[in-house]
Amino acid sequence: MAWDRNQMAARAAKELRDGYYVNLGIGIPTLVANNIPEGMEVTLQSENGMLGIGPFPYDDEVDPDLINAGKQTISELASSSYFGSEQSFAMIRGGHIDLTVLGAMEVSQDGDIANWMIPGKMVKGMGGAMDLVAGVKKIIVVMEHNSKSGDPKFIPECLLPLTGKNVVDMIVTDLAVFQRPDHQSPFRLIELAPGVSAEEVAQKTTARYES
Amino acid sequence: MAWDRNQMAARAAKELRDGYYVNLGIGIPTLVANNIPEGMEVTLQSENGMLGIGPFPYDDEVDPDLINAGKQTISELASSSYFGSEQSFAMIRGGHIDLTVLGAMEVSQDGDIANWMIPGKMVKGMGGAMDLVAGVKKIIVVMEHNSKSGDPKFIPECLLPLTGKNVVDMIVTDLAVFQRPDHQSPFRLIELAPGVSAEEVAQKTTARYES
Amino acid sequence: MKKTFPDAAAALEGLLFDGMTICAGGFGLCGIPERLIDAIRDSGVKGLTVVSNNAGIDNEGLGKLLRTRQIAKMISSYVGENKEFERQYLAGELQVEFCPQGTLAERCRAGGAGIPGFYTKTGVGTQVAEGKEEKVFDGETYILERGIRADLSIIKGWKADEAGNLVFRKTARNFNQPMATAGKVCVAEVEEIVPIGSLDPDGIHLPSIYVKRMIVGAPYEKKIEFRTVRTREAA
Amino acid sequence: MKKTFPDAAAALEGLLFDGMTICAGGFGLCGIPERLIDAIRDSGVKGLTVVSNNAGIDNEGLGKLLRTRQIAKMISSYVGENKEFERQYLAGELQVEFCPQGTLAERCRAGGAGIPGFYTKTGVGTQVAEGKEEKVFDGETYILERGIRADLSIIKGWKADEAGNLVFRKTARNFNQPMATAGKVCVAEVEEIVPIGSLDPDGIHLPSIYVKRMIVGAPYEKKIEFRTVRTREAA
């Protein structure tokens, strides 16, 4: 039985470590915040200029001056800090963020990622995605194993315009987890969703990986 | 009668304008602060991270955490602000400072300046001098017209290692004032100290200048 | 030297001209210089190049200047949530230069800091790298990005003192800080101007040297793009 | 994840090795990490490259590490007021790389911000430009300067909260901010550690992400290099 969205987020959350500073993308990655292990201190960064993202505010606490990178209203924590966008990306580009979890449309077997231009739709821009994949220490992609039309998304080479070249460290799909120890090594299948076989994964994947 | 140190500073101070942000070097340039015209608002920058330098503190107000770039204790004003060295020099390099007044050992007829390596002495470093001459909008040099041994200091070409190339806009000496409208034009003698003749200046200067 | 002006039109007087480049602060609709945008719209200046992380939404923020066709080119990282933008862009009436968000912030900071170019790993191997110089440092490839300088910066702050020292509030700081430094002149709108001495000198976010003119833009009816809340559990 | 350590030696444990590069905050004797310098001296680690605007004075600040010959190379903008430095330098025992002050601050900020190189006008046409790549932007010549990354940053702050958010006091901020970002690990000493929630989130100078370990170094007997005062006029 394949993992659902929350289970995928929970699997990605297993990569968190105490004291980590983390940036979470929009969509499934946001759910990682709900899966931080009890007692573990993880600080979430918002690239519009905040460290220490709190939960959504109560209705009477909503503050238009307090939003996340998805432009949603949020709250602050006692340990939060605010800074400008230049400082926020100095942190990201400078390798100070330990981990980012991002969605993707395609990931190649060499760790390229494409997640900013949707084919046939108007280009809205890359936002902070290119900065994140270029700067953060560890890049985890969380995505469905196959597109709605059934096409593999972990593929030999990305067909869509890239967000980053040779940057992805780990891929969590609804079927399996792939990882590589460094950017020179191939990905290896390290885990299967319950009831999913290695053969099924092989069948639904066109990327080359070790198993 | 040649200008004394304070008169030279007073002459440089005539270049101040209301609302200017100014950086003053060590020595005679510091005296410019005492010559800011009444009613004119001039904000002094200290390159170690402060805008709005106040006067020296009273004895019982001395604060080791509050010093100027010359490492002297100073005081703050109600309008002061503090920032890091990277921000301080972003201001300087970015052309946000309107005017700087600096001492020099030599200035060439092309506006080169040498003021960081004293011949025969140990090199102590350039501090912020190279940043100031490269970044500030208007550079005024205040120096004696001749060295103690009588050698001209406004000369065809600097003999000492340069602090900046083609950067000086105005030179105030104890004998005269030279100015140029832009960095492509030659300097022009625009003012003489009382009792000093153009001939005396010509005799004591080896640099080419218009008169 | 009084920096405070009675209103946005007065604060912008003499600073606007057709074809100019403007750096604008804000992230989405958070911390945007609304009053100054209105005044720029009313001035009728056109052919603008606007450097801003986003392009507003329909009829909010920079969306107002898009609607009146005063903007010829946007330099932005993300321009979603804006139908009029989409229409003009697809019709080829509006030029757009996409720039990664962090690169955009750094380009403006660099421009304001006298740095005409810097190297970054962001965008290497992507469309963003096309036509840009590459350079290898310690075995890694980087691309050269240019500093941005503008004719004018427009920003939104929280409080300013009469000297022009400025503080921001929470995530409304965002791009206002780097944008403020990139313009030949920076005009700020704030919610309140307080007497000199009211702000902590150690707590100034934008020192007075950057703010040449300012207005009080209050009262503000701050817009929210995505209102997300949680509910209190019953007691 | 507790960031607070009982003392400087404990905070530096496992971080020191011969031949390493250390970025140190401070300007003159203002805002220098005294306790951490003492602990580095006591550790006996040697062959250090130290990046710091100044080199302390005789037996104060980094002067202590010069005295014990633990420093092999300094990258600084100004090294006056230090006889032992002068002696080692003239004897060829100490390597010195002079770097303009603003370039030094920017090189450390750049290193910490993932920027391996940037262009600046500072030093063009001087000894500083020798051996450096030149590039013309819009008709002006600039030189390429490299970002600096260090194995360790040591800084001095005023207050920190238990999460590692840090604030500085007056001109003691200086190089502590850029230096903190340039090290693989940054260890801070502060005058006071306050509970989380005691510091204004809008007023943090150095966000907690940069501070990995910290100690309270108080009480401090802050040294003054040049005590300059004015006298009160008689009433």
Map out the domains of chain A as residue ranges: 5-35+84-203
Amino acid A16: pLDDT: 98
Chain B contact probe: residue of C108, C153, C159, C209 with most B CBs at under 10 A: C209
CA–CA separation, D87 vs B122, rounded Å? 10
CA–CA separation, C183 vs D121, rounded Å? 19
* Short-list D50, D98, D51, CA closest to D77: D98
Amino acid C235: pLDDT: 54
CA–CA separation, D208 vs D206, rounded Å? 6
Residues from D contacting A (CB-CB < 8 Å) are 1, 109, 111-115, 161, 163, 165, 181, 196-197, 201-202, 204, 207-210
D140-146 and D134-137 strand pairing: antiparallel
CA–CA separation, D227 vs D178, rounded Å? 27
Amino acid D235: pLDDT: 54
Asked if residues C118 and C151 have their Cβ atoms less than 8 Å apart, the reply is no
> Which pLDDT band holds residue D1 (cuts at 50, 70, 90)?
confident
Q: Which residues in chain D touch residue A83, judged by CB atoms under 8 angstroms apart? A: 204, 207
Percent of chain A with pLDDT over 90: 95
How far, in Å, are B47, B83, C124, D88, D199 from residue D173 at the CA level? 12, 7, 35, 29, 17
Question: Which distant-in-sequence residues (6+ apart) come within 8 Å of A191 by Cβ?
Answer: A11, A176, A177
> Which pLDDT band holds residue A79 (cuts at 50, 70, 90)?
very high
Contact C203 D201 (CB under 8 A): no
Q: Which of D114, D161, D201 sits opposite A76 (nearest CB)?
A: D201
Asked if residues C75 and C49 have their Cβ atoms less than 8 Å apart, the reply is yes
CA–CA separation, C109 vs A167, rounded Å? 26
Amino acid A156: pLDDT: 98
Q: Which of residues 53-72 of A touch C (CB under 8 A)?
A: 55-59, 62-68, 70-72
Count how many residues are written for chain B.
Answer: 211
Question: Which distant-in-sequence residues (6+ apart) come within 8 Å of B46 by Cβ?
Answer: B23, B53, B68, B69, B74, B88, D171
Amino acid D166: pLDDT: 98
> Which pLDDT band holds residue D82 (cuts at 50, 70, 90)?
confident
Residue D40 backbone phi and psi in degrees, to 5: -70, -40
- Could you give the count of Cα atoms lying within 13 Å of A175 in the half-sphere of its Cβ? 18
Q: What letter represents residue B107's amino acid?
A: V
User: What mean pLDDT is predicted for residues B175-204?
Assistant: 97
Q: What is the DSSP string of C50-114?
A: EE-S---BTTBTTHHHHHTT-EEEEEES---S-HHHHHHHHTT-SEEEE--HHHHHHHHHHHHTT
Chain B closest-CA separation from residue D69 CA (Å):
19
Q: What is the DSSP string of B19-72?
A: T-EEEE-SSHHHHGGGGPPTT---EEEETTTEEEE-PPPBGGG--TT-B-TTSB
Widest distance between CA atoms in chain A: 52
Neighbours of B59 (CB within 10 A): 12
Percent of chain C with pLDDT over 90: 93
Nearest-by-CA chain A residue for C78? A125
User: What mean pLDDT is predicted for residues B111-128?
Assistant: 90
Q: What is the DSSP string of B8-21?
A: HHHHHHTT--TT-E
> Which pLDDT band holds residue C150 (cuts at 50, 70, 90)?
very high
Neighbours of D61 (CB within 10 A): 24
Name the average pLDDT for chain C.
Answer: 96
CATH architecture observed for domain A5-35+84-203: 3-Layer(aba) Sandwich (3.40)
Chain D contact probe: residue of A18, A36, A66, A79 with most D CBs at under 10 A: A79
Amino acid B179: pLDDT: 98
Q: Do chains D and A touch (3 or more CB pairs under 8 A)?
A: yes
B188-192 and B176-179 strand pairing: antiparallel
Say if residue B156 is preceded by a cis peptide, omega within 30 of 0. no
Q: Which of C101, C121, C171 sits opposite A82 (nearest CB)?
A: C171
Q: What letter represents residue B173's amino acid?
A: T
User: What mean pLDDT is predicted for residues C139-163?
Assistant: 98
Reduced to 3 states (helix: H, G, I; strand: E, B; else coil), residue A88 is helix
C207 pLDDT higher than 90 = yes
Reduced to 3 states (helix: H, G, I; strand: E, B; else coil), residue D210 is helix
C1 pLDDT higher than 90 = no
Percent of chain A with pLDDT over 70: 100
Chain D closest-CA separation from residue B130 CA (Å):
6
What ranges make up the beta strands (E) of chain A?
21-24, 43-46, 50-53, 76-82, 99-102, 106-108, 113-114, 138-142, 154-155, 170-172, 176-179, 188-192
Asked if residues C149 and C108 have their Cβ atoms less than 8 Å apart, the reply is no
Amino acid C68: pLDDT: 96
CATH architecture observed for domain D8-115+146-216: 3-Layer(aba) Sandwich (3.40)
Starting from the edge strand earliest in sequence, which strands make up the sheet with A76-82, in order? A76-82, A50-53, A43-46, A21-24, A99-102, A138-142, A170-172, A176-179, A188-192
Amino acid C23: pLDDT: 98
Amino acid D59: pLDDT: 87
Percent of chain D with pLDDT over 70: 99
Contact A94 D181 (CB under 8 A): yes
Chain C closest-CA separation from residue A198 CA (Å):
32
Measured in whole angstroms, the distance separating CA C119 from the mean position of its chain's CA atoms is 22
D195 pLDDT higher than 90 = yes
Reduced to 3 states (helix: H, G, I; strand: E, B; else coil), residue A105 is coil
Amino acid B86: pLDDT: 98
User: What mean pLDDT is predicted for residues D138-157?
Assistant: 98
D208 pLDDT higher than 70 = yes
Neighbours of chain B (3+ CB pairs under 8 A): C, D
Amino acid C81: pLDDT: 79
Choice among B38, B41, B47, B106 that is catalytic: B47
- Could you give the count of Cα atoms lying within 13 Å of C226 in the half-sphere of its Cβ? 13
C166-167 and B176-179 strand pairing: unpaired
C20 pLDDT higher than 70 = yes
Neighbours of A5 (CB within 10 A): 13
CA–CA separation, A97 vs A43, rounded Å? 10
A131 pLDDT higher than 60 = yes
Name the average pLDDT for chain D.
Answer: 96
C234 pLDDT higher than 80 = no
Q: What is the DSSP string of D44-89?
A: T--SEEEE-S---BTTBTTHHHHHTT-EEEEEES---S-HHHHHHH
> Which pLDDT band holds residue A1 (cuts at 50, 70, 90)?
confident
Write out the two tokens for C73: 């080119």
Amino acid A70: pLDDT: 93
Q: pLDDT digits over C59-113, tens only? A: 899 999 999 999 999 999 999 878 889 899 989 999 999 999 999 999 999 999 9
User: What mean pLDDT is predicted for residues B29-57?
Assistant: 96
Chain C contact probe: residue of A126, A136, A160 with most C CBs at under 10 A: A126
What burial letters (b/e) apply to C67-89, b meaning 16+ CB within 10 Å? Answer: beebbeebbbbbbbbbebbbebb
* pTM of the predicted model over 0.95: yes
* Short-list C102, C43, D187, CA closest to A49: C102
Question: Which distant-in-sequence residues (6+ apart) come within 8 Å of A3 by Cβ?
Answer: A11, A173, A174, A175, A193
Q: Which of C118, C120, C202 sits opposite D169 (nearest CB)?
A: C202
Name the average pLDDT for chain B.
Answer: 96
Q: Which residues pair with B44 in a beta bridge?
A: B22
Chain B closest-CA separation from residue D51 CA (Å):
14
Q: Which of B65, B86, B88 sits opposite D172 (nearest CB)?
A: B65
Measured in whole angstroms, the distance separating CA A76 from the mean position of its chain's CA atoms is 22
Name the average pLDDT for chain A.
Answer: 96
- Here the ipTM equals 0.97
How far, in Å, are A119, A152, C227 from residue A204 at the CA level? 22, 6, 39
Amino acid C46: pLDDT: 97
Write out the two tokens for D194: 């306050």
Sign of CA dihedral C132, C98, C121, C26: positive
Q: Which residues in chain D touch residue A97, judged by CB atoms under 8 angstroms apart? A: 209
Neighbours of chain D (3+ CB pairs under 8 A): A, B, C
D234 pLDDT higher than 70 = no
Asked if residues C142 and C120 have their Cβ atoms less than 8 Å apart, the reply is yes
CA–CA separation, B139 vs D70, rounded Å? 40
